[in-house]
Amino acid sequence: MNLFQNLALKYSHTMMEKSLQKGFNVELLKKPREKTPKNDKSYMLYAHIPFCHTFCPYCSFHKYYYDENLAKAYFENLRKEILLIKEQGFNFTSMYVGGGTTLIHEEELLKTLELCKKLFDIKEISCETDPNHINPEKLSMFKGVIDRLSCGVQSFNDDILKKVARYNKFGSSQILQEKISKAVNILPIFSIDLIFNLPGQTIEQLLNDLTIAKNLAPQQITTYPLMKSGLTKDNIAKSLGVSIKDNEFEFYQIIRGFFKDYQQNNGWSFSLEKNTFNDEYVSSHHEYLGVGSGAFSFLDGELLINAFDLNDYARLIKEKQNANIAKASFDKKEIIKYVFLTEIFAGKIDIDRFNKTIKCDLEKDLFIELLGLKASGAIKKEGKFLFTSEFGQYLFVVLMKDFYTGMDLVRAVFRDNKRIKNKDFIDIMKEDVNPLDPASMEFKVN
C-alpha cells in the first residue's frame, strides 16, 4: 500500500469505530418491542443455536456448553417463537442458521427447518457446522432442506490446530481432510472456512491451507482474517502468541491471487461457480429477523437483541412475547453507511437500485465518504455503478472485520446477564465509550 492508501485505511478504521460507538448505544427495554412486517420489504430469517461441546479461544459468539435435554427444550422454544412471528405476518424467502454449532442436535434442527419451510416461502437455507457434524449419514438427512453448509476448519496445520485446542477436538489435518472429502457434494453447496493472519502463521502454512482446501474441491472456500477483540485477544495471545508483524494485507493479496480462477462472491468468499448464496447474509438482506437466544434483528433502522439468558428467553416465549430485551437505534446516515458497507463488500453497487431501496441519494448523502474512497483508489464509478479496486476490496474486508468485532462485543456484554442485572441497568460506562472494549458498552433503560 502507498502512503495515501495507508492513511485512507487508518481513517476508515477510525470512522468505523466512531460509527460503532454512536450506533451501539444499547437501550434495555422494559417490555419487548413489537415486530411488524412492511409490505414493501423482504426479510431474511436468522436462527441462533447457542450450543457447543467445547469453546475455541478466538470465538466470542454467544454459546453454552451442550446438554441434550437443555438443547431439546431450547429447540421447542425456538419453534414456538417461529410460530409467533408467523402469526405476526412475517414471511421469508431465505434463512440462515448460525451458532454455536448448528448441527449439534440434527433431529431437532431438522424438525425446526422443516417447520420453517412449511410456514414460509423459504427457497434457500444456509447453516454453519464444525468438522464433528459432517457425517455423511447425518448430512443426508438434510437433502432438500439445507442448500449451503459452511464448515469451520480454520486451518489444516497440525501445530496451529493443537495451539487453538482443535486438534483433539476435531482431529488432525489428515482426519479433517478425510471427513470433508466424504461430506462434499452431499448437499448443493459445501463451504470450507479458514482463518488467516494467525499469530506466527507463515506464508508456507497459508499456502498449504489454501492448497488442501482447493484440492478437496468444495463449492466454496471462505478465508476470514483473524478477528481480535478485547474479549478474545488474551486467549489468542495465550494460545498462539503475539505477532511481531501484521501480515494481513500481504496474506490477503496471496489469497486473492491463489483463487484467481474462482469466482469472488465478496471480500473473503470464493466459489467454483458464481452465486450470491454465501457466508455474508447481510450483503444481500438489508433487513432480517432473528429468532433464538441472543439473536439480532435489524428492522426499520433498529437493532433488536433477543434475551441471552436461556431462562429469560424461555419465559418470554412461554408468555407468547417477542424475545427481544434491548435495542439500538440508528439515524438515517448510519443506516446508509451500514447498507453501503454490506453491499460494496460484494464488489459493486448499483446506485439507482441502492437509492430506490434505501430511499436516499447515495452520492449526496455520503459525498465526503465517497470522495475519500475515490481519492484513495478504493472505488471507482462506471456509469451508474460503483466498483471496488484491489485495494478497495482489502479496505472493506478490514471495515467488515471491524463491524463484526463490534457486533461480537455487544453479544459478549449481554451474555454476561447477571452483570447487567446486578448493575440495575445503570450505565456500564460513564463517559469514555470504546466500541472495541466490551467493558465500555453503554446501556440505558427504555
What pLDDT, on the 0 to 100 scale, is given for residue 429?
27
Domain boundary pick from 283, 298, 321: 283
Tell me, rounded to whole angstroms, the distance of Cα 175 from its chain centroid. 27
Does some domain include residue 343? yes
| Structural domain includes residue 381 | yes
What is the pLDDT, as a whole number, of residue 237? 52
Cα–chain center distance at 239: 23
Task: Look up the CATH number of the domain holding residue 15.
Answer: 1.10.10
Residue 249 maps to a domain: yes
Question: Domain holding 114: CATH number?
Answer: 3.80.30.20
* Residue of 381, 385, 301, 304 whose CA lies nearest to 337: 301
Residue ending a domain, choose from 283, 307, 327? 283
Low-confidence ranges of the chain (pLDDT < 70): 1, 4, 20-24, 54-61, 228-244, 274-284, 408-409, 411-446
What pLDDT score was predicted for residue 446? 41
Q: Give yes or no: residues 128 and 253 share one domain.
A: yes
Q: Does residue 424 sit within a domain?
A: no
312 C-beta neighbours (distance < 10 Å), count: 16
Backbone dihedral region of 11: left (phi > 0), alpha (psi from -120 to 50 degrees) or beta? alpha
Q: Are residues 174 and 195 in the same domain?
A: yes
State pLDDT tens for residues 344-386: 998 999 999 999 988 999 999 999 999 989 988 999 999 999 9
Count the domains in the chain: 2
Question: Has residue 299 been placed in a domain?
Answer: no
| Residues 393, 255 contacting (CB under 8 angstroms) | no
Quote the domain boundaries for residue 388: 1-25+336-405
Q: Which helix (H) or strand (E) holds 355?
A: helix 351-358
Quick check: 270 and 262 in contact, CB under 8 A? yes
Residues 11 and 137 occupy one common structural domain: no
Are residues 389 and 260 part of one domain? no
**Rounded-to-integer distance, Cα 319 and Cα 321, Å:** 5
**SS3 for 237?**
helix
pLDDT at 411: 66
User: Measured between alpha carbons, how far is 239 from 218 in angstroms, rounded to an integer?
Assistant: 29
Residue 278 is which amino acid? N
Asked whether 310 and 293 are in contact (CB, 8 A), the reply is: yes
Instruction: Decide: helix, strand or coil at residue 31.
Output: coil
pLDDT at 285: 74
Cell numbers 430511499: residue: 359
Mention every residue, 6+ apart, whose C-beta is less than 8 A from residue 92. Answer: 43, 44, 45, 116, 120, 121, 122, 289
Inter-helix orientation angle 390-415/248-258, to 10°: 120
The answer to whether 433 touches 426, Cβ cutoff 8 Å, is no
pLDDT, residue 239, reads 60
Cβ proximity of 170 and 164 under 8 Å? no
Please tell me the distance from the alpha carbon of residue 370 to that of residue 348, in angstroms, as a whole number.
13
| Residue 304: inside a domain | no
C-beta separation of 67 from 101 below 8 A: no
What pLDDT, on a 0 to 100 scale, did the predictor assign at position 421?
Answer: 40
